[in-house]
Amino acid sequence: MLAEFYLAAQLGRIWLRLHPALSRSWGDGPELCLMAAADRTISPARLWRAQEFSVRVWWRAAMASMVIFFPPAIAISVILGPKSRLEGWLVGCLGLLWAAVAMIAMVQMMVSRYRADQTARYIAKGGTKPLDGYENGYPTRYDFSVGSGLAVLVAGVLGYAGLHSLF
């Protein structure tokens, strides 16, 4: 099971419930992502559609994370005031958490975009058989974990530097 497609399918279902008008163009996206997550013999055309859906879902997840994290940060600033050390620390921690979530989503979007472009090139060359190995755009088992680990590492280094400067 490929985690990036499985999570994209779940997030995509939520997004399609929130925006029913998108179901005309994206309606089968979650099912295609689940097929791509579980079945290595999926056709290149279906894999490419699943990858394109995944790119859009990860982008929207990164942008939606701002809606989730910014209101609490503003509320903390208003309640505790700008001179409070606790306010700086809480907003810094919340910002760090938001940065990690947004970075993970953006890295997954970039990996999906790269793989989708490879698959599109394979299709343009006339390739119709299922992709074998991890060539021509089929994602590896490690894409999600390496991308997420890299994003968390960068967010951790930036967060340490930022929070360390507060105290």
| Separation CA 149–CA 145 (nearest Å) | 6
| Separation CA 15–CA 132 (nearest Å) | 32
Least confident residue range of 20-29, 42-51, 110-119: 20-29
Identify the domain containing residue 10 by its residue range.
3-166
Helix (H, G, I), strand (E, B) or coil at 164: helix
Q: What pLDDT is attached to residue 160?
A: 81
Residue 22 binned pLDDT confidence (cut-offs 50, 70, 90): confident
**What is the average per-residue pLDDT within 131-157?**
79
Q: What pLDDT is attached to residue 135?
A: 63
**What is the average per-residue pLDDT within 67-75?**
89
Alpha helix stretches (DSSP H) within the chain: 3-18, 23-26, 29-38, 44-80, 85-124, 143-166
166 against 124, higher pLDDT: 124
Q: Is 4 in contact with 54 (CB distance < 8 Å)?
A: yes
> Is the pTM value of this prediction over 0.85?
no
What total number of domains does the chain contain?
1
Single out the residue of 139, 158, 14 nearest to residue 100, CA to CA: 158
Residue 132 binned pLDDT confidence (cut-offs 50, 70, 90): low
> Which residues 6+ apart lie within 8 Å of 140 measured at CB?
134
